[in-house]
Each structure stands twice: as structure tokens, then as C-alpha cells.
Amino acid sequence: MGLLSGKTALVTGAARGIGKALALRFAEEGANIAFTDLVIDENGEATRQEIEAKGVKCLAYASNAADFAETEEIVKKIHADFGQIDILVNNAGITKDGLMLRMSEAQWDAVINVNLKSAFNFIHACLPIMMRQRGGSIINMSSVVGVHGNAGQANYSASKAGMIALAKSVAQEMGSRGVRANSIAPGFIETAMTHQLPEDVRKDWMQKIPLRRGGQAEDVANVAVFLASDLSSYVTGQVIQVDGGMNM
């Protein structure tokens, strides 16, 4: 029996990257998986099949997470398809970096809507279900820049900081109903995006990390399993930094 056997997890933005790693790890622990992405293309279908091969039920849903009404309908459909939603991971996110002086309103709005408003949308839609079930675990995928800020990422940092405060507020509101809410703040994680960075930038990053290496998506997924499972039944309103000690 896996740590998440009998549970259903909803992971947003999970067709690739960290979201995909989370979904696969949850499936290995026995959770049925519903995941969303803006478009479910060949890569999304391949992800769905890879998750399903773990021996669990997996369905993929095309969804604009930043759209409130669309999110309400998608969550209703997922609940109808699975009968329950025990775990929600708000992972959908984008970056549109730029210095504050040069940042456009469109850059700001896009990142806040996709990263932060989407978390509000899905929490708002899932809370009534979790309240009726008298339990649930909400995990907001934040970032170390949401804790410490980062030059050139005012919009992204603000959205990720907002996700932390959102989780803390939900934790306070919903604790008596058995619903927990926490955040994960990854640091330098080895992904397709970070592999595109110049080598000197990568080396500079590594020198700032006490463990002297970048993290793997699986490192984040393992912490997510802990927060999603009953192992963390007395943990709520917390932020766990998965950053190799980069920001102590």
C-alpha cells in the first residue's frame, strides 16, 4: 500500500516539468491522478499514459487555470469523474521576466493571473468538496524568490509570495474542517528551462548552494508526497524550501 492509496490528486500544469514529476510520484504512491494543462497535446497524452502505467486512474483536462468560470466547471467534471478530490497541487505557472522599470502592465497581469489567480480559482472550487469530505491537502507550488525576492522577477516573486500567504490564510480558515494548506518553495531545480542557461550562470548558481548541485524535480516531488500524505497530518500553513540550503 502506498502512502496515497485511495486518494485522488488534482495537479495543475502537470503535462511536463515539476508538475509531471509530482503526478508520477503521487501515482507511485497509489493516488489516482487528474491533471490539467492549458492544452493537452501529444506530450500531455504521453504524460497521461505514463502515469496510468503506474497502475492508477489518470485523466487529463485542457484548462485555462486563470479563468475562474472555466476552473469551476473543470473541477466539477473532475469530481464527477473521480468521486473525490483529496489533494490539490497548484503548480500552473509562467514567467515573463524584466526589470521593474521596464515591466509592462501586460507582463505583470499575465504572471499574476496564471500563477496566483489560478491558485485562488482552484482552491475556491475544491474547498466545498474537501469540506464535505472533512479533509484535504492543498499544496501551493511557490518558489524561493517568493520568500526572498529576485531582481528582474518582481511579477513572478510577487505571485509566488502571494501563493504562500494564500496557503497560510486557507490553513487558518479551514483547519477546523480538516483541510490543510502548505507551500513548497523550490530553488534551482534542473529542468529544461535551467539547462538553457549559460554555463557561467549555472556555475554561479552552484557556488551559492551549500550542497553544490541543482535539485531534481523528484526532490520537490518527495516533499509534495509528504505534504499530501497523512505523514504530515499535523503540518499546515508552512513553507518548505527545497533549495539545497541556498536561502537559509
CA 14 to chain centre: 8
Residue pair 243/190 in contact (Cβ under 8 Å)? The answer is no
DSSP code for 229: S
Residues 6+ apart with CB under 8 A from 232: 137, 180, 182, 226
Q: 32 has which bridge partners?
A: 8
Which has the closest alpha carbon to 228: 191, 174, 181?
Answer: 181
Residues 6+ apart with CB under 8 A from 129: 75, 79, 84, 85, 136
The cell for 3 is 502512502
Distance CA 183, CA 179 (A): 14
Distance CA 167, CA 138 (A): 8
Residue pair 79/129 in contact (Cβ under 8 Å)? The answer is yes
Selected catalytic residue, list 33, 156, 164, 184 = 156
Residue pair 182/239 in contact (Cβ under 8 Å)? The answer is yes
156 as an active site residue: the answer is yes
Catalytic residues: 156
